[in-house]
Every structure is written in structure tokens, then in C-alpha cells.
Amino acid sequence: AQSVSQHNHHVILSEAASLELGCNYSYGGTVNLFWYVQYPGQHLQLLLKYFSGDPLVKGIKGFEAEFIKSKFSFNLRKPSVQWSDTAEYFCAFRDNYGQNFVFGPGTRLSVLP
């Protein structure tokens, strides 16, 4: 079955620390990959997405993610986090054949000022 795993349930960092959130998906075909963020009390919104081309994609607010096909991974990174990055982060994928989005369980990030 298609699935997405996220390595950490809750990550706590201090401001200016570097961030890497792990994401692995289970699917053998071509995938379209997404990272969404949910700030406290706000809608889920797209951070970045990958569907082809350069496996290193840049998103909003200084986030980037790298697609490594051989590892079925799409890890999210940010070199220096801010308190305002405190949120829940969801990794997701979708195939090209009309199957539904598959979301990971989410990683809660708390950034201490």
C-alpha cells in the first residue's frame, strides 16, 4: 500500500539552528512530492513541490527539499530556523494516475526563541 513516513513526531530547536525533517514514501512509480505546513490556527499551505527536473527544490520562507529517488526520500531543510517556523509539517505524494494524495503523519516543529 502507498504510504508516507515522517521520521520525527516532534522536533524542538533553538532559533538559528538548522532543520532537516525526514520523509520517505512507499511507491514504485513516478511521484509528485509535496511539503505542506500548518501554522497554529491557520490553513494547511504548500511550502514546496517536486514533480520533475532538478531534484533540489526551493520553496517559500527559505525552505528547500531534496528528492532522492534511490532512497524514496524527500527531506525538508532550512539552514536557520526562526521562531515563526513553529508549525506542523506534512509530507505528501501523489502519482500521475489519479490516485489520491497520501499524507504523512506530520512532524511538529517547535522553535524556541
Partner 1 sequence: KAGVTQTPRYLIKTRGQQVTLSCSPISGHRSVSWYQQTPGQGLQFLFEYFSETQRNKGNFPGRFSGRQFSNSRSEMNVSTLELGDSALYLCASSPGLAGPNEQFFGPGTRLTVL
Contact footprint for partner 1 (CB under 8 A):
32, 34, 36, 43-46, 49, 51-52, 90, 94-106
13: closest CA among 71, 69, 89, 95? 89
**CB of residue 89 to partner 1, shortest distance in Å:** 11
- How far apart CA 24 and CA 61 sit, in angstroms, is 23
Residue among 82 and 96 whose Cβ is closer to partner 1: 96
The C-alpha cell 521562531 sits at 83
Residue among 75 and 106 whose Cβ is closer to partner 1: 106
Q: Determine contact, residues 14/72, Cβ cutoff 8 Å.
A: no
Residue among 28 and 98 whose Cβ is closer to partner 1: 98
